[in-house]
Amino acid sequence: MMMRTFWAALTLALGCVLVPLGAQAQTKPLPYHIFADVVMARVCIPKSTFNPGDTIVWRAEIDDAAGVKLTAAQIKTLGITGVITMKDGTKVPLAFGVHPPFPNAPATDLYWAGAWYVKPDHPTGTIPWTMTVTDAAGNVVTFTPIGQSNGASVLTLAEKGAAAPSKT
């Protein structure tokens, strides 16, 4: 629910509706709806600019066609898997589980997450990404972040700034 509240607030702030890419092009209803974002590791704050040496975390919820969040039992029965794919072909598998992991907080939520450590020598720049959900029946749904297909940067690696001079 935490992520859905975030998306509702973002939708109101931006004045737009967030829908899975391709929803308009489908001739039959999509079997799943995907809600995904990128956050800073350990604190789960939504963020779009990272530095080499950081860990980027994707988190997502997958709902059924009626917009109801899938349970762990449904995910297992349907054989659902999720993966993030970056433009360079790097794949980050997603796992469904409790967040934050115990014993970090008394209030938890269940959602998909995957992490990618950015090597210190990784080139800087824009990193386009998509999330693909597949199931055992062969259904495939792909989520592309809003604005990315129009050239907006939704995930950027930037060089770390120079350290501030000491005052000694």
CA distance 20 to 62: 11
Among the listed residues 44, 50, 56, the one whose alpha carbon sits nearest the alpha carbon of residue 104 = 44
Domains with residue ranges and CATH for the chain: 2-22+32-146+153-157 (2.60.40)
* 57-71, 124-138, 149-163: least confidently modelled range: 149-163
Tokens of 81: 């898997």
Q: pTM score, two decimals?
A: 0.74
Find the mean pLDDT for residues 34-42.
83
Tokens of 59: 């988190």
Confidence of residue 74 (pLDDT cuts 50, 70, 90): very high
Angle at 117 (CA atoms; ends 113, 123), nearest 5 degrees: 125
Residues whose CB is less than 8 angstroms from the CB of residue 30 and which lie 6 or more positions away in sequence, other chains included? 20, 22, 23, 65, 141
